[in-house]
């Protein structure tokens, strides 16, 4: 045993990291899966070396895209989870009647649970509906449920229908004995009153874009809606970032869509892209983000990198928009 120990130990007692082991095993490049594992582990190591920093003031971000199935809620949940895991305080507001963000963050959102509907329609204080995410205690959630589906009509009967969320959110932020680094609002996949409420309550819009051409066609419509909200309701609103999702670098289509998006919006598109991942799709069924469900997988690593990139841009964005 002593001889074996001497043979497997280097002269400087270096212990191989997981990344080094994977790279050594698959160094001949013959195994695609092994190569991908090595790259994922290397990127995870790099993210682990980085630190999330507290923005100089709270950032208010809506995650929006009127096209369904582009990874909007997945992005809102996992960016929030990555920020929370990084030690930042995050308030997530679920403005989608489907309540998928509430599910993925593991909070109650049945019909009888207090929700964002009660906040914007029944004048319930936000503090009375907030729940804390079990996986990440630095994340608070204002849940949504099916009751919100009727709010579009009810909001139009109010005196100031477009600013209901903004007013109650500002009241809560002014009175709560807690500082949030980020407020992230998950919007429904539409362009109705609920979305406008969300856009009036924030300064920034994060747009997830699926790596396919139909997603690009809908992008111009969303940008036009944001401009209309700027002109009519919220002059401080701006798109601060775009994130390419469901990217498959094995296909020419994904590569072309990524290139075209970055060419049209070079200052907005994040360098990080979100690769297609089964684990990302599976995680909500376990009432978890992919950050909690598969922390070492490709999807979790991608979303950590995206969150870190958003975080690193904070002071530039704050200087321009706040």
Residue 136 has pLDDT above 70, yes or no: yes
Going from N- to C-terminal start, the domains of the chain cover 1-49, 57-321
Element (H, E) at 92: strand 90-94
Residue 24 confidence (pLDDT) above 90: no
7 versus 318: which is more confidently predicted? Answer: 318
What percent of the chain is predicted at pLDDT more than 90? 69
What mean pLDDT comes out for the span 8-13? Answer: 49
pLDDT of 9 above 60: no
* Single pTM value for the model: 0.87
pLDDT-based confidence at residue 156 (cuts at 50, 70, 90): confident
CB 67 within 8 A of CB 214: yes
Amino acid 74: pLDDT:
97
> How many Å apart are CA 159 and CA 176, to the nearest integer?
26
Confidence of residue 303 (pLDDT cuts 50, 70, 90): very high
Task: With residue 271 as reference, give the H or E element that holds it.
Answer: strand 269-275
pLDDT greater than 60 at residue 17? no
Q: Name the nearest CA neighbour of 303 among 64, 139, 83.
A: 83
Q: What mean pLDDT is predicted for residues 88-92?
A: 98
Q: In what order do the strands lie in the sheet with 238-247?
A: 131-132, 139-142, 90-94, 182-186, 59-63, 204-210, 238-247, 269-275
pLDDT of residue 19: 52
Residue 254 pLDDT > 90, yes or no? no
pLDDT grade for 23, boundaries at 50, 70 and 90? low
Q: Is the pLDDT of residue 34 over 60?
A: no
Q: Which of the four pLDDT bands, split at 50, 70 and 90, describes residue 35?
A: low
Structure confidence at residue 211 as a pLDDT band (50, 70, 90): confident
Q: What is the pLDDT of residues 217-233, one digit of tens each?
A: 778 888 888 999 999 99
CA distance from start to end of the chain: 64
The answer on pLDDT for 11 being more than 50 is: no
Topology of domain 57-321 in CATH is Rossmann fold (3.40.50)
At 179, list the tokens. 């500082």
């Amino acid at each position: 045993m002593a001889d074996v120990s001497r043979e497997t130990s280097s002269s400087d007692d270096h212990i191989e990291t997981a990344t080094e082991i994977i790279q050594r095993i698959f160094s001949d490049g013959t195994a695609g899966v092994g190569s991908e594992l090595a790259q994922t582990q290397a990127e995870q190591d790099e993210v682990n070396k980085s630190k999330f920093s507290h923005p100089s003031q709270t950032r208010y971000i809506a995650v929006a895209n009127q096209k369904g199935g582009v990874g909007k809620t997945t992005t809102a949940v996992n960016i929030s989870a990555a920020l929370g895991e990084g030690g930042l305080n995050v308030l997530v507001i679920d403005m989608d009647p489907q309540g998928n963000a509430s599910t993925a963050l593991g909070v109650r959102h049945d019909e009888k649970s207090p929700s964002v509907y009660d906040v914007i329609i029944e004048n319930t204080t936000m503090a009375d509906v907030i729940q804390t995410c079990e996986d990440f205690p630095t994340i608070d959630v204002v849940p949504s449920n099916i009751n919100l589906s009727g709010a579009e009509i009810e909001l139009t009967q109010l005196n100031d229908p477009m600013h209901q969320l903004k007013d109650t959110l500002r009241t809560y932020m002014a009175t709560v004995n807690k500082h949030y680094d980020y407020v992230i609002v998950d919007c429904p996949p539409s362009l109705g009153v609920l979305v406008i409420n969300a856009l009036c309550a924030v300064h920034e819009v994060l747009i997830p874009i699926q790596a396919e051409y139909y997603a690009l066609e809908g992008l111009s419509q969303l940008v036009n809606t944001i401009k209309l909200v700027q002109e009519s309701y919220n002059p401080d609103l701006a798109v601060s970032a775009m994130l390419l999702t469901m990217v498959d670098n094995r296909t020419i289509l994904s590569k072309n869509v990524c290139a075209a998006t970055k060419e049209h919006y070079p200052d907005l598109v994040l360098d990080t892209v979100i690769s297609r991942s089964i684990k990302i799709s599976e995680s909500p069924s376990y009432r978890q983000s992919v950050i909690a469900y598969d922390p070492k997988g490709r999807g979790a690593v991608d979303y950590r990198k995206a969150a870190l990139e958003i975080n690193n841009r904070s002071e530039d964005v704050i200087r321009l928009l706040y």
